[in-house]
Each structure stands twice: as C-alpha cells, then as structure tokens.
Amino acid sequence: MTLFQDFGITQELAIILAIDLTIAVALLTLMRYLQGWSIKVNSSAELAERDNFAFGISTAGAVAALGIVLTGAITGAAASSYLIEAIGMSAYGLFGLVLIKLGRFLHDKIALNELDKNAQILKGNMSVALVDASAAIATAIIIRAVLLWAEDLTLDTFIAIFSAFAISQLMLVLLTRLREMRYARRNQGASMQAALVQGQIALAVRHSGYMIAMALSFNAASHFIQFKPTAHVSNLLGWLLFSVLMLIALTLLIGLVKKLVLARINLAAEVEHQQNLGIATVELAISLAIALVLTALMA
C-alpha cells in the first residue's frame, strides 16, 4: 500500500475505484449483448460468423456511447459509504444506458423515419450503421454533459436530466430535417435517407460530423444554465433556448469555415454525387473542430 499512498491513493479510495470499475465493466458487457437482444439476433454470430461490419459499427457506437456516459456518472468524489457509491454508480449508469437505448429508438422512429434501421444493418449497410453509431455517441455526449450538470441523486435530478435529454433529441431531429432539406434542394427533391439506404458512406460521414458537433456544442449549455432541482420548466426552457442558439451559431460557423478551408471545391457534387469519402472526412473534421472551439470558448 506504500506505493499507492505515495500517489495519494488510500485503501478506501482504491475500493471505491474498484467498485466503479466493476460496475462500468458489467454495464459495458451488458450493452454489447443488448445490441443483439434488441433486434433478436445472436450478436456473436453477427460479429464473428457473418462478419457483419455494419453490426460491428453499430455495436461499437453503443459501447462507446455507454463509456462516455459512465464518465459523467463517475464524478471523482467518493460517496459516504461503499454501498452508496455502488448504488449511485449503478443508478446513473443504468439510467444512462436506458437513455441511450431510448435515444436510439427515437432517432430510428422519428429522425430516420423513412428506413428500417435494424433491417439495413443486418443487411450490412455501412452508411446506416455509421449514422446509427454517431447518433448514439452524440446522445451519449449530451447525457454526459447533463449528468455532470445535475447534482445529487433525487427524483428531481432525474427529471432534470430527462428534460435536457428530451431537448437534445428534439435538436437531433431538427438537425436531421435541416440537412435533409438542404440535400433535397441540391438533388431535385431526392431523399437523403434513401441515399443512405443506397449505401452512400460519404454522405453518412458528413452527417455524422454534424450530429456529434451539435452534441459537443450542446455540452456548453451546462456552463450557463444553473441547476435548480425543482425548477423543471426553467431548466427545460433554458436548455431549449441555448441549444437553438448554439445550433444556429454552429451551422453558420461551419458553413463559413468550409468555404475557406475547402475553397473552389463543389462539396455537393463531391460528396453527394461522386461519394468522395476524403472530402466528407474533411467536412467531418471541420464540424468537430468548430464545435470543440465553441465549447472551449463557452467554458
């Protein structure tokens, strides 16, 4: 124990860390198997026998999403007892897992309402799988921000977390609809979701960048909205107003930077017609860079 004490790790803290790590590993394992159970397939068979890359990407998104959420559940402050620590970690972790699954369900039914996501992934559609994984990661980034914003372990806390989560899902749907409208205007009314079904990976990469960027910018709201456990309406309106403002700012800045960084390049033709994955990846990087800069400035 002398070596641990040299680094400021006491026996009590070591046990707390072990409890948190054990619960985290259990929840990550559970998420992996939930992927197969939720669509009634054997996840091992899909991953290792059928070599379904799309299912692997979707599963990777889910596992990564839960890992992101768990970093919000682990505050770094030890609870008053081992039991309370275990209950708190389990409660936040399970609540985060449920919200991730709920977010994916809402995204499937509302945002991607023109396609059957599960069927496409089982067919090996990489484009749909990329969008699915990115939506899960975006949702997780938002949940993590809300978990760090909220305090205590009460019913009011969970209501506040769910309210912010609901706003985030609304914003993801709004973002998807705006991107679909732009795609339709540039492609004679064609459907972006139909293009994803056709396997346009470049389009999926670009859209994934927008979703994760929006989630990162949503994270900045936690620095401005004061947590009030019982002020449910003001919490809801605060997250809604700030997320709309951040979406507008993000959209304008990304558009401006793309015109500068990718000057003299017809982005619509390259990504939507020629399926240029390189250009789409640069667009994704620009979206993430702008979101990270905005988040740092707001912090």
5-37: per-residue pLDDT in tens? 555 566 777 777 888 888 888 888 888 888 777
**pTM to 2 decimals?**
0.88
3 pLDDT above the threshold of 50: no
What mean pLDDT is reported for the chain?
Answer: 84
Taking the C-alpha atoms of residue 21 and residue 284, their distance in angstroms, rounded to an integer, is: 32
76 pLDDT above the threshold of 60: no
Residue closest to 27 by CA, chosen among 56, 88, 70: 70
Element (H, E) at 268: none
- Residue 128: give the domain boundaries: 2-298
Residues of the chain with pLDDT > 90: what percent? Answer: 35
CA torsion through residues 133, 88, 28, 7, sign: positive
For 208-235, how does the pLDDT look when each residue is reduced to its tens digit (9 = 90+)?
999 999 999 877 777 777 777 777 788 7
Q: pLDDT category, 257, cuts 50, 70, 90?
A: very high
Query: How many domains does the chain divide into?
Result: 1
CB of 210 closer than 8 Å to CB of 175: yes
Taking the C-alpha atoms of residue 129 and residue 140, their distance in angstroms, rounded to an integer, is: 16
Taking the C-alpha atoms of residue 108 and residue 6, their distance in angstroms, rounded to an integer, is: 50
pLDDT, residue 1, reads 47
For 111-162, how does the pLDDT look when each residue is reduced to its tens digit (9 = 90+)?
999 999 989 999 999 999 999 999 999 999 988 888 777 766 677 777 877 8
Q: pLDDT category, 72, cuts 50, 70, 90?
A: confident
User: Going by C-beta distance under 8 Å and a sequence separation of 6 or more, which residues neighbour residue 3?
Assistant: none
For 259-294, how does the pLDDT look when each residue is reduced to its tens digit (9 = 90+)?
999 998 999 899 999 999 999 999 999 999 999 988
